[in-house]
């Protein structure tokens, strides 16, 4: 019997179409398969020629025009759908932002935060909910159920950790998350990765007093403003050196925000003052974002695709840096207007997710940035929450 694990957001998701601040194709390429390119080339529909003109045959994607799909109308609607109907959409466009991961007899489905509507769910105080249903289908024979079972058990444990304790203890929760990533890696390297061994690694974190001790120690690290500001100053310097600031702020599209980053580069004390004022504002208005972000990340990135365990946990570490970048951009908007609206936050989250997902070079540089961090404590300073 197969089973399907669903991130409940999938049921509530509704595309806002022309009202979308980003649109599905904003700032990134829509990939096409060989079959899809051929299919569009052989289309007998009168609109077929326009579609073919929009295709980059060599790169197997739809070209970009002004960082958008050239087949979009001025008010943000898809002309393929308008002219030919939904059946003519490519697979990427048809399923976006829905995604599926298959692990043997378990199918996991979700919607991606590269869509700003989905990203806005992260800002709602309600807990993320998952449902599991059985499917009337036979299970696969060759899947590594033991590995899925062990990793899925640890994921459930970590999600419960994020959702149970106070939202103010996020730094400590991420510390435990990083420790468990290391424990899983070690068990894998010695060939001992199974549910039983994982349970014994999780056991210390099952005791409330142990967790509280870690949370309080991590709060002390997180509250060291001088160190935190130095970390962020270093991050902004590296981004500027690598010409990554423009890319990062591409979706926010504001000269003033860019100037804030330049200001912080030159004036470390101003950065420190802004961080000091931004954190209480964030905690009062958006504290749920950290919990929801990491629960979402755990659901998506904890169990490696095709069970490829090499590099286990790297995606999650990138997400910690990515979260720091989201917060930097959010702080820049807040500095400009004295507040940040949900819609602005959602566009920042989706935009940075798009930049990192579609730019392997950016992701690579983020990993390098992280590898220069020589202790978990220093990485945690990047949380800005
Ligand atoms: S990004 Fe999301 S809300 Fe925007 S057009 Fe695409 S599916 Fe709709």
How far apart (Å, rounded) are the C-alpha atoms in residues 24 and 97?
A: 8
CA of 320 to the centre of ligand 1 (A): 25
Ligand 1 atom at minimal distance to the Cα of residue 96: 7
For the entire predicted model, the pTM comes to 0.91
What DSSP element (H or E) covers 102? strand 98-103
The pairing of beta strand 106-111 with beta strand 2-7: parallel
pLDDT in tens, 237-278: 888 887 777 777 776 666 777 889 999 999 999 999 999 999
Q: Which of 73, 82, 94, 96 to mutate to test the pocket of ligand 1 (most atoms within 8 A of CB)?
A: 96
Ligand 1 atom at minimal distance to the Cα of residue 97: 7
CB crowding 45-79: b at 16 or more within 10 Å, else e: eeebeebeebbeeeeebbebeeebbbbbeeebebb
CA of 26 to the centre of ligand 1 (A): 10
Residue 205 neighbours by CB under 8 Å, 6+ apart = 157, 161, 176, 180, 211, 214
pLDDT at 314: 85
Q: Is the pLDDT of residue 367 over 70?
A: no
Judge contact between 15 and 78, C-beta under 8 A: no
Which protein residue has the closest C-alpha to ligand 1 atom 2?
115
Strand partners, 101: 108
CA of 66 to the centre of ligand 1 (A): 18
Judge contact between 330 and 343, C-beta under 8 A: no
pLDDT at 189: 95
Ligand 1 atom at minimal distance to the Cα of residue 26: 1
pLDDT at 22: 83
How far apart (Å, rounded) are the C-alpha atoms in residues 288 and 167?
A: 7
Q: Cis peptide leading into 97, omega within 30 of 0?
A: yes
Best CA proximity match to 252, nearest among 332, 320, 342: 332
pLDDT in tens, 289-341: 999 999 999 999 999 987 789 889 988 888 888 898 899 999 999 999 999 99
pLDDT > 70 fraction of the chain, expressed in percent and rounded: 94
pLDDT in tens, 23-65: 888 777 788 999 999 999 998 888 999 999 999 988 889 988 8
CA of 98 to the centre of ligand 1 (A): 11
Judge contact between 70 and 108, C-beta under 8 A: no
């Amino acid at each position: 019997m197969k089973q399907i694990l669903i991130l409940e957001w999938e049921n509530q998701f509704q595309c806002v179409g022309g009202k979308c601040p980003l649109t599905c194709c904003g700032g990134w390429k829509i990939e096409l398969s060989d079959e899809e390119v051929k299919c569009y080339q052989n289309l007998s529909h009168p609109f077929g020629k326009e579609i073919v003109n929009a295709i980059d045959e060599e790169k197997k994607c739809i070209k970009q025009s002004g960082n958008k799909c050239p087949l979009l109308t001025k008010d943000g609607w898809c002309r393929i759908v308008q002219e030919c109907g939904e059946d003519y959409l490519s697979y990427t466009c048809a399923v976006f932002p829905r995604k599926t991961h298959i692990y043997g007899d378990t199918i996991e489905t979700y919607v991606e935060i590269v869509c700003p509507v989905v990203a806005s769910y992260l800002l709602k105080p309600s807990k993320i909910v998952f449902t599991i249903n059985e499917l009337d289908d036979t299970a696969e024979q060759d899947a590594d159920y033991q590995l899925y079972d062990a990793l899925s058990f640890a994921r459930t444990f970590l999600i419960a950790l994020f959702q149970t304790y106070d939202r103010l203890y996020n730094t400590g929760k991420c510390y435990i998350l990083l420790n468990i990533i290391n424990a899983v890696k070690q068990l894998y390297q010695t060939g001992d990765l199974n549910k039983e061994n994982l349970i014994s690694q999780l056991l210390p974190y099952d005791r409330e007093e142990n967790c509280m001790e870690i949370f309080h120690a991590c709060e002390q690290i997180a509250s060291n403003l001088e160190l935190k500001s130095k970390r962020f100053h270093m991050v902004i310097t590296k981004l500027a050196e690598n010409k990554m600031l423009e890319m990062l702020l591409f979706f926010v599209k504001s000269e003033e925000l860019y100037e804030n980053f330049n200001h912080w580069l030159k004036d470390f004390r101003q950065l420190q003052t802004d961080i000091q004022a931004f954190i209480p504002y964030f905690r009062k208005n958006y504290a749920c974002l950290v919990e929801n972000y990491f629960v979402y990340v755990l659901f998506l990135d904890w169990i490696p695709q095709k069970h490829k365990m090499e590099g286990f946990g790297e995606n999650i570490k990138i997400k910690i840096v990515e979260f720091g970048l989201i917060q930097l951009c959010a702080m820049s908007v807040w500095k400009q207007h004295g507040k940040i609206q949900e819609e602005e936050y959602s566009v920042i989250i989706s935009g940075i997710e798009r930049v990192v997902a579609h730019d392997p070079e950016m992701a690579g540089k983020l990993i390098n940035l992280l590898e220069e961090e020589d202790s978990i404590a220093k990485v945690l300073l990047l949380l800005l929450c």
